Amino acid sequence: VTNAAGGAINGVQVGVSLAAGGLVSVQSGGTISGLQGVRISGGAGTLVNAGSMTGGQIGAVLSAGGSVTNQTGGQIAGSHGVAVYGAAATVVNAGTIAGNSTSGFGVTLGAGGTVTNQASATITGLAGIFAATIAATVVNSGSIGGNLTTGSGITLKVGGAVTNQAGGTISGNRGIYALGSAAATVSNAGSIAGNLTSGSGVTLTGGGTVTNQAGGTISGSYGVVAGSVAATVVNAGSIGDGTSLPT
């Protein structure tokens, strides 16, 4: 399906539904909307968006894995912005992906994969990125933001890796929240910020490694927090407002 500039596809339930995998391309100026903007099931999906894709529930959902490329000027929004399940996802964002800031996620990875958020791009939600079940990799040069009182910029439920490049920002009540027993790796040359009164820049409950490079800043009520599993912190930048490690 190709929705050209000026084209509008609106569905009460789903704007575009493909039941055997396939490709949906939305050109600049094109729009797709519905309770779910785009739903691709039954096989890997490919979504390329330079226009607007909105859903009351989900902007775009791929239930058998695949790839999402949100180009410069592209907007994908809903209670949840993008959700990919069933198989690994590759998400590349140069535009805006937005979930509800109190109840939804910008990008949900249900089966692992990779999210690359490019310079000037934004991903927001209660959690900007939420990865469940399988480890995920995030590379950020833009802005990833979660709710500053109840959310996180990035949540990794089973470990993974986050690289925040120079100029990149990650924020939330917890900037990066790696929970569970799996280790996570964080490399930062930009800014990772948690709530200064109640949150943390980076939390690793399953241990792992935080490398804060020259020029990198990590801040929060606690800069870096590790749980009952040993963690390693290497700092050449600034970690503010306390660092908590197991004793």
Cα separation of 103 and 145, whole Å?
14
Question: Can you read off the two tokens belonging to residue 84?
Answer: 């990919």
pLDDT at 245: 44
pLDDT at 227: 86
> pLDDT tens track of the chain, all 247 residues?
999 999 999 999 999 999 999 999 999 999 999 999 999 999 999 999 999 999 999 999 999 999 999 999 999 999 999 999 999 999 999 999 999 999 999 999 999 999 999 999 999 999 999 999 999 999 999 999 999 999 999 999 999 999 999 999 999 999 999 999 999 999 999 999 999 999 999 999 999 999 999 999 999 999 999 988 999 999 999 998 645 444 3
Helix (H, G, I), strand (E, B) or coil at 56: strand
Quick one: which of 94, 90, 150, 162 has its CA closest to 122? 94
Contacts of 231 (CB under 8 A, 6+ apart): 204, 207, 208, 209, 210, 224, 245, 246
pLDDT at 241: 62
Helix (H, G, I), strand (E, B) or coil at 159: coil
Residue 223 CA: distances (Å) to CA of 25, 28, 120, 195, 243: 41, 41, 25, 10, 5
